[in-house]
Amino acid sequence: MMLAPSPILATDLPPPRLFRWEEDYRSLAARAAAGDPIARLKHLELADGISLSFGAQARATYERRGLPFAPRRHADDALLTRLLLHGDLRLGEHARVFLELGSHGVAGKRKPLAPSDENQLDLQQAFADVRGPLGTGTVTVRLGRQELGFDAQRFVTVRNGPNVRQAFDGLRADWTAPSTRLTAFAVQPVENRDRRGFDDQGDADIRFIGLRAEATRVANTALGAALYGYRYDRDGARFGGVRADETRDVLGARVTWADGGLDADLEAVLQGGRFAGREVRAWAIGSTAGWRLTALPWNPRLGLQFDAASGDDNPRDGRLATFNPLFPRGGYFTDAGYTGFANLIHLKPNLTLTPYTNTRVHLGAGWLWRQTAQDAVYAQPLAPVAGTAGNSGGLRIGSYGQVRVETTLARGTDLVFEAVHLMAGPALTASGGRDATYVKAEVSFRF
């Protein structure tokens, strides 16, 4: 009797996505039915049209973080661990339930810990959505705990670099068509309480709603565009030693271009609103541009990054001009996260090399200034560094060098090494700041 050949293991799956709910493995139905064990985990047929997909992430990160702002001079050594496990239940073509559990640990780091460092076993995501055709596109309505991230994730982000990712509780609706997406949402950020398991909940002090329109290709060109408006309300916000309710009305636009080795990304944001009887008037710009020289060895990309965000130059003029980055990506400048996206001017020329198809090397040098010396230097996410507001140090915060190496060993298995050295400028040293070095080594497995 001849034995049937063993099915090929499903090791050629597409790479995992940043948002795991974007993955769809229903194309593996035939391979799962043939007995491929990996395919069966990614597509388990429960009944006609009903399937269940499993996925996971295990990540370990070693960090040695110099402390340029803290009174003590020694560095923090820490081992951070992240374990995520999710199930995606598809109920035909029009409904699904997504559940993800998360456990996040930290060892060696001195207290106080940041909210993004540690969290006991809890719901990372838990939502249900329904979808159906509407006009020339598809509408999806999602309710529950979910991750959000838009554009280059400068101001609304999943915060993947830090240990605990950012999630939101609430409602989101999308209408998608070829090259177009319309999005509306009303959410609250999840507050990491970490007193016991399954105690996280939406932060009742913050309400965040928004409308967005995106086009990935404008008039069938390489130009992409997005326009959005947000309302951000926070009870008991603090600026300049004053604690009061904060309202921000946010209007933003983004344009992108990628064609013929050239790429560019420009985002501009205006903020109005009220805080403690003061009128909010703030702004920010985030931009990157690059030119990839594909004819040269290692496909070098010459890049330039420029960012700026307003600060408050007069706390007694009835206006608040400090930009609020909302829900920023902690590793937008570097994974060291030494500076936040407020009262800042940032310039970073950089070079990216690809010596192997699975390896990328990023080299950068950055310069940092305050937009106004009357406002503070801000650390992530919007924490004023003590003693820096209005000090005698002028505008220059400092400069830094960065080396980052990323390698993919196999599907979903990644290694990252990053080193950053911050050279403190007079805006920091005038208030006791100092040079600092950050080193990170990380291994991650996603299935």
Give per-residue pLDDT as tens, 34-46: 888 888 999 999 9
Give per-residue pLDDT as tens, 143-158: 999 999 999 999 999 9
The residue with greater pLDDT, 111 or 324, is 324
pLDDT of residue 378: 95
What is the residue extent of each domain of the chain? Answer: 1-48, 58-446
pLDDT of residue 1: 35
- Would the pLDDT of 110 be above 90? no
Percent share of the chain, pLDDT over 90: 81
pLDDT of residue 250: 98
pLDDT of residue 112: 80
**Distance between CA atoms of residues 229 and 162, nearest Å:** 27
List C-alpha distances in Å: 392 to 338, 397, 422. 21, 12, 20
CA-wise closest residue to 148 among 111, 179, 200, 188: 188
- Would the pLDDT of 69 be above 50? yes
pLDDT of residue 11: 59
pLDDT confidence band for 75 (50 / 70 / 90): confident
pLDDT of residue 5: 39
Helix, strand, or coil (residue 148): coil
- Would the pLDDT of 6 be above 50? no
* Mean of pLDDT values over 369-373: 98
For 402-432, give the secondary structure using H, E and C: EEEEEEEEECCEEEEEEEEEEEECHHHHCCC
pLDDT of residue 7: 44
CA-wise closest residue to 385 among 348, 346, 344: 344
pLDDT confidence band for 136 (50 / 70 / 90): very high
The residue with greater pLDDT, 108 or 441, is 441
pLDDT confidence band for 2 (50 / 70 / 90): very low
pLDDT confidence band for 15 (50 / 70 / 90): confident
Judge if pTM exceeds 0.85: yes
- Would the pLDDT of 60 be above 50? yes
pLDDT of residue 236: 94
At the top level of CATH, the class of 58-446 is mainly beta
* Mean of pLDDT values over 319-330: 94
- Would the pLDDT of 9 be above 70? no
**Distance between CA atoms of residues 407 and 283, nearest Å:** 36
pLDDT of residue 309: 98
List C-alpha distances in Å: 129 to 86, 132, 138. 16, 10, 13
Residue 12 phi, psi (nearest 5): -100, 30
Percent share of the chain, pLDDT over 70: 97
N-term to C-term CA, the chain: 36
- Would the pLDDT of 184 be above 70? yes
- Would the pLDDT of 10 be above 90? no
Sequential DSSP letters for 279-346:
EEEEEEEEEEEEEE-TTSTT--EEEEEEEEE---S-TTSSEE-----SB--TTSS-TT--S-SSSEEE
* Mean of pLDDT values over 235-239: 92
Helix, strand, or coil (residue 28): helix
What does the mean pLDDT of the chain come to?
A: 93
C-alpha angle 341-83-326 in degrees, rounded to nearest 5: 20
Alpha-carbon dihedral sign for residues 410, 150, 353, 221 = positive
Q: Which of 3-12, 56-65, 265-274, 291-300 has the lowest mean pLDDT?
A: 3-12
- Would the pLDDT of 316 be above 90? no
Q: Are 87 and 162 in contact (CB under 8 A)?
A: no
